[in-house]
Amino acid sequence: MRKDLTRIETISLRGRLHYYTRFGRPVSKVTMPPYRGLEYYRPGQLLGYIRWQAGEYGSRLWRFMILRTVSFTGKSPSHQVEGVSPGAYIILDVEGALKVRAAMNVIDQIENMGIDPAEVSPAYYGHLHQRILTNQPYHRYSMEQHQSFRQEGEISV
């Protein structure tokens, strides 16, 4: 694979461990039977990454992150994220069943509007992150907000 791509590790061990992408547009996917895989993303792409682990008495870890892949020029800020190589910029990061479910409900609402979550304004996800972490109500993403964000992107190109 090209060195300018971000690699995301996926794992699925039924009932024990699941690391997978909830949304995003990988350039390519590699399956490594029986339970592993790799996804590759171009710089600047958004993706949702879920990490779930079971313990002896139920869920031990339930974490959802929205990440923006970075370029490899060394000028882009990035965070070290387990399963993500070489790293990515974290826009949203929530842990625990209630907070992850809240974020998943928003992703479902966005998809129900016919919008790809990978095309949503990163600023909205930043707002959602802060509101979920502080148990505050959040604004629903609107079609008007999405159209405005898309037009802004077209102008700045």
pLDDT tens digits, one per residue of 45-102: 999 999 999 877 777 889 999 999 987 766 667 888 999 998 899 999 999 999 999 9
Under the banding of pLDDT at 50, 70 and 90, the label for residue 6 is very high
pLDDT confidence of 41, banded at 50, 70, 90? Answer: very high
Whether the per-residue pLDDT at 4 is higher than 90: the answer is no
% of the chain surpassing 90 pLDDT: 74
Q: Which two tokens stand for residue 68?
A: 């923006």
pLDDT(2) > 90: no
Instruction: Give the pLDDT score at 156.
Output: 41
Q: Which residues does residue 107 pair with via DSSP β-bridges, in sequence order?
A: none
- In this prediction the pTM is 0.89
> According to the model, what pLDDT value does residue 155 have?
43
Task: Give exposure, 34-71, as e/b (b: 16+ Cβ within 10 Å).
Answer: eeebbbbbeeebbbbbbbbebeeeeeeebbbbbbbbbe
Q: Tell me, what DSSP letter sits at residue 118?
A: G
Amino acid found at 76:
S
User: Would you say residue 153 has pLDDT above 70?
Assistant: no
